[in-house]
Chain A
């Protein structure tokens, strides 16, 4: 099994009826679980409490946490297994993001090179991006 190192986003929802420190413990448990599965945690972002679009395990709200990890697919499968077993985690989704990031970087590169070629026309076109115009 020759697997590549890839970047994944794991978004999961923690049940809302836990105490503050308990929630923190769940988040750190998931983080250490990811490391134990063989992933390197790049970022943990708490997205806060949000209303769910539909009921999940009879909960109307949930605490969204976004975990960005790098590693192999098998390790992600292991992390997902842990999340499935973890009782306070009511839902999770894993999305592979490295290819999308690569695509966006490519687009940005093309756009930046165009800006350099024609500064005056590009300024009018890319009004929302003043940074590449000055570069």
Chain B
């Protein structure tokens, strides 16, 4: 199978670099009909990519493809600004990571790295205990 693909890439020439990436997910169905492949590749490429599109992003397979939703890479505030100490007394800092209702905002929304989120969570809980932060904001 690998040989077949190699042959094809040599014969198709200029088209190969672009076609190589979408062809690989469609490969399992392809080897039965090598002649049909160029046709199959057209719909097969996007067809194979569609389920892989939203779900495939964490896998990191979307190299250069047209992405509908561009999302900025989130970075850890504590790493970037080199904030070493996450203290329970620093209410201003902690408040940025507490939702309106008083909940701790999850990492996936804030982009804080795991070690810092751990310290942050501990600090927020200490601050709650001494009434610097609410357990739950009442409405």
Contacts from A to B (Cβ < 8 Å)? 11, 13, 50, 52-54, 56, 62, 64, 66, 91-93, 95, 100, 104, 107-108, 126, 128
**Please, how many residues of chain B have a CB less than 8 angstroms from a CB on the other chain?**
14
Contact B131 A52 (CB under 8 A): yes
Partner pick for A104 among B85, B128, B129, CB 8 A cutoff: B85
Partner pick for A53 among B82, B85, B89, B133, CB 8 A cutoff: B133
Chain B 97-139 per-residue mask, 1 if CB under 8 angstroms from chain A, else 0: 0000000000000000000000000000010111111110000
User: How long is the Cα–Cα vector from A81 to B19 in the complex, in angstroms?
Assistant: 74
User: How long is the Cα–Cα vector from A93 to B82 in the complex, in angstroms?
Assistant: 27
Chain B residue contacts of A91, Cβ below 8 A:
130-131
Chain A residue contacts of B131, Cβ below 8 A:
13, 52-54, 56, 62, 91
Which of B85, B128, B130 is the most central at the interface, judged by chain A CB atoms within 10 Å of its CB? B130
Q: Which 5 A-B pairs have the closest CB atoms?
A: A53-B134, A52-B131, A93-B130, A53-B131, A107-B84
Contacts A13-B131, A62-B131, A104-B84 known; list 11 others, CB within 8 Å. Answer: A52-B131, A53-B131, A53-B133, A54-B131, A54-B135, A66-B89, A91-B131, A95-B88, A100-B85, A108-B84, A128-B82
Contact A95 B126 (CB under 8 A): yes
Residue on A with the closest CB to B127?
A53
User: How long is the Cα–Cα vector from A92 to B121 in the complex, in angstroms?
Assistant: 19
A-B contacts counted at CB < 8 A amount to: 35
Chain A residue contacts of B129, Cβ below 8 A:
93
Sampled A-B contacts (25; CB under 8 Å): A11-B89, A11-B130, A13-B130, A53-B128, A53-B131, A53-B132, A53-B133, A54-B131, A54-B134, A54-B135, A56-B131, A62-B131, A91-B130, A93-B88, A93-B126, A93-B129, A93-B130, A95-B88, A100-B85, A104-B84, A104-B85, A107-B84, A108-B84, A126-B82, A128-B82
Residue on A with the closest CB to B122?
A95
User: How long is the Cα–Cα vector from A95 to B127 in the complex, in angstroms?
Assistant: 11
